[in-house]
Amino acid sequence: MKPKIEWIDYGIAFTVEDKGTRWIQINKALLEYPDLYKIALEHEMGHIKRNGYLSNILYDIMSSWKLSNLKFLKFHIKNPRSLLASMPIYKENGKIVYNISSITMWLMLLIAIGVSVWVNI
């Protein structure tokens, strides 16, 4: 069964869960970029198939190379609100939203930088 898709005008794509129901939010501007839309949708479908925080974080880490390319950079430049996907905390509809995956990724990056600085001191 395919999950419901909700169109948004920020970020790239998110898998949302509420009361046991999962659906995908995807930036409607991606419809103008069919190849990027396909990559983003396939990535989010991977999240729909996984259960648990750790499983989804590992999936993000292992599949992030597919999302990092010049086409996505061009998409971000033309659609600056898409950069919210990498923000750990942002405001949406008047509410503060915490992106746990992004918080984890930023913490891992800061720890890696801290360790590399410490090792080189």
Is residue 87 within 8 Å of residue 103, measured between CB atoms? no
Question: Domain residues of the chain, as ranges?
Answer: 5-85
**pLDDT tens digits for range 46-80:** 998 988 878 887 887 777 666 557 788 889 899 98
Mean pLDDT of the chain: 84
**pLDDT tens digits for range 25-50:** 999 999 999 999 998 999 889 998 98
Better-predicted residue by pLDDT, 118 or 100: 118
Could you tell me which residues are beta bridge partners of residue 21? 18
Q: Shortest CA distance to 62 belongs to which of 75, 50, 74, 80?
A: 50
Q: Please report the sign of the dihedral spanned by the C-alpha atoms of residue 84, residue 105, residue 99, residue 19.
A: positive
